[in-house]
Structure 1
């Protein structure tokens, strides 16, 4: 321990730890980036929290590689390479101390960031599963591999430009592979999934209802541990056989990786299990939301019952889309807990939003106006919807005008127009807004 403390003071390890914590925690706490308030946020659920920390490696890995490269150049840049070669202490033992100190510093920084995220998950009562363990081990292996690669590059190429160049290359390659694995990415077709999974960083978690496939984590562990072993062998021996661990890890990983990105994750049945209060059901992941949505959900179903083909139950979807695309089961009012319109809404406002829920159709932009006009009519004109400020006068002005015109009609005509518009929006056929205004007649 005394030797390690001495090496820690002589190396860049303390500065590496500081840089990782500054960048990592700054990334999560000071910016309003991709860690939205959905269930897959960094501070709400166990596995997504670990996956966000792995995503962060797109920034941390280049820092680790750059700092380790600086340390790897120490002997040659100090002019002591030939002198140290004459000492009886083997190179492997001498470099092992440096590698251990840099590796421990990098791992400590990463684990501290992970611990802060998981501490918030525990405070927020996130659903506990063990599916986060393997992704955490992959993240640690990635950090160790970054330290080993950086040390090896610094020892092989002791030049003043080596460290910044290594950091830039690590950033470009890592981000390219990471982006190549994102669903809908412009470069996804150019980067096969099996190659994209070799990235030291992970992609953004897009759902808390899925978990990484075990074979993906095992393959990444084999590849990253092999890369780490190669880096340390190059640091200690600089022999041709040093590349063997990386090649072996690659040979194990590539065949067991899925061919397509859609197979990188598997559904989590325990998170998606339904929890119901009569006709209103939510997922087990959002079980605490049931007490909030049960009352408004039942009231919304009662109001919708006057319309033809009205839904008979409320169900929470497990997809990552805000609303269902295209017509679905007409008997189900499909909602998403993390939809922006439903987040932090309760009581009468939540009932308003549930009544305005409809499938997403590739139709006219007036569909949103029609949804809220129907909801307002069913509620008896309660005023502006809860999120009216999000739409502004584009929604509220025609909603009030058309709503007033609609309520001025005979009751039978009102019901006929609203029924036709509701049917059109549920089946993605016709223009619901035109049906409400009578323009389609």
Structure 2
């Protein structure tokens, strides 16, 4: 029996690479993704004390950076990428290959769609991980981060189309400037459709977005991009009619977004706004989202509470958060400016702010008048400085009248100081003539 030789194996050829993969690797696409990631990370790092304590703050800051800084950048990068084939003189050559115009434009626009979104998502993930050790509760709003990534992809698509249509060399930087001006101006102007602007800012830490906002935002943005792509690549009446479908979907999604009230898609989150209190007297209560700050704030208010305890008019409870204080309660300052990474960075400044909140009065102009108004202002400032001196790096030199009252307070015995403070707090702050002189 004779052995039969196996047929020779064919030499392996080079690995096949997809057309999309090749398109993603060439040109400015990878550099665009890197530019987006660096822009987000550098900006967020510079603002880290302001967002690294709450998920809402992190999401808000990422949203502002994406809309106001990265959005115009992506417009310019997309415009530059879109003009690549026109600058290299290969548009006619590409038109001769056996691909439909729509497929050609989809391949060409792929880098400006995918790379900016990838760079933003990478940077956002880094920022969310940097926030995680310091948050007091809640969850990251990943749906809003994804919606911002889609926005950048759409801006890259629109910039790409502008680059293919306009041959002027300064189109890309001009497009970035226009985008920055439009997005920035729209955030400071009240108009119908205010929340269609991708750079609108949100402020409150105890809110959560309504569930339908992110999906509708994606439909609104993607519908615009698809309509623009189909209109650009339309070689027939059928494609032009087809472009009306995503345009209709975009308009339908934009209507409820444009109709949002001034607070936009944000609603109070009962779990985040729920009060968490310490066990002291008077109590110090913060919204659940700031519960990590409760020990620091309670400690900062201890010297003031020790002086106020048992006096008429003293607060029965300090309350922070969205709900108005009840009878006998006093509102707490928002700790945003004094909190860094879950800790109160300036207890002295926070205590000074709490005293200002304690003695603030809402008076009618006709009541708050007369020759004793100036004296009242001096006494009020003297009492505030006596209870909680303004830190030296924030202080403003006091006038001679205030200094005179402050010296008089400091010269009193502890019993006399407490007696004066009781009379001061019992007086009507809207009637200057009733406020006692130290």
TM-score bracket for this pair, using the shorter chain length? 0.7 to 0.9
1:113/1:374 Cα in 2 relative to 1: closer, same or farther (>3 Å)? same
The 5 A counterparts of 1:285-364 are 285-294=289-298, 297=301, 300-318=304-322, 329=326, 331-338=328-335, 343-346=344-347, 354=354, 357-358=357-358, 360-361=360-361
Instruction: Verify: 1:228 aligned to 2:232, yes or no.
Output: no
2:358 is paired with a residue whose SS is: coil
The 5 A counterparts of 1:237-248 are 237=234, 240-241=240-241, 242=243, 244-248=245-249
Aligned equivalents of 2:145, 2:297: Cα separation in 1: 35
Match of 1:6 in 2: 22
Match of 2:201 in 1: 204
Contact 1:309 1:330 survives alignment (8 Å): no
What residue ranges of structure 2 are gaps of 5+ in the alignment?
Answer: 1-16, 363-367
When Rg is computed on C-alpha atoms for both structures, the one with the higher figure is 2
User: Displacement, 1:411?
Assistant: 8.7
1:197/1:367 Cα in 2 relative to 1: closer, same or farther (>3 Å)? farther
Match of 1:75 in 2: 85
Out of 78, 100, 116, the position equivalent to 2:126 is 116
Aligned equivalents of 2:379, 2:256: Cα separation in 1: 51
Q: TM-score, normalised by structure 1?
A: 0.77
Contact 1:43 1:49 survives alignment (8 Å): yes
Match of 2:98 in 1: 88
What residue ranges of structure 1 are gaps of 5+ in the alignment?
Answer: 181-187
Q: Deviations over 1:357-408 (max 9, x none)?
A: 425447778878645643676x6xxxx726243114327x766531332466
Out of 10, 31, 35, the position equivalent to 1:19 is 35
Contact 2:206 2:287 survives alignment (8 Å): no
**CA RMSD between the two structures:** 3.6
Out of 415, 419, 422, the position equivalent to 2:422 is 419
User: Displacement, 1:48?
Assistant: 2.7
User: Displacement, 1:420?
Assistant: 4.4
User: Displacement, 1:69?
Assistant: 1.6
Match of 1:270 in 2: 271
2:203 is paired with a residue whose SS is: coil
Contact 1:51 1:202 survives alignment (8 Å): no
Q: Deviations over 1:16-72 (max 9, x none)?
A: 123223332332334xxxx484xxx33222233122112112121111112112222
1:62/1:291 Cα in 2 relative to 1: closer, same or farther (>3 Å)? closer
Contact 1:307 1:419 survives alignment (8 Å): yes
Aligned equivalents of 1:55, 1:340: Cα separation in 2: 18
Contact 2:24 2:110 survives alignment (8 Å): no
Residue range with higher mean Cα deviation, 279-288 or 384-393: 384-393
2:398 is paired with a residue whose SS is: helix
Q: Which structure has more RCO (C-alpha within 8 Å, separation ≥ 6)?
A: 2
User: Displacement, 1:107?
Assistant: 0.7
Instruction: Verify: 1:179 aligned to 2:188, yes or no.
Output: yes
Aligned equivalents of 2:294, 2:112: Cα separation in 1: 48
Out of 76, 91, 114, the position equivalent to 1:104 is 114
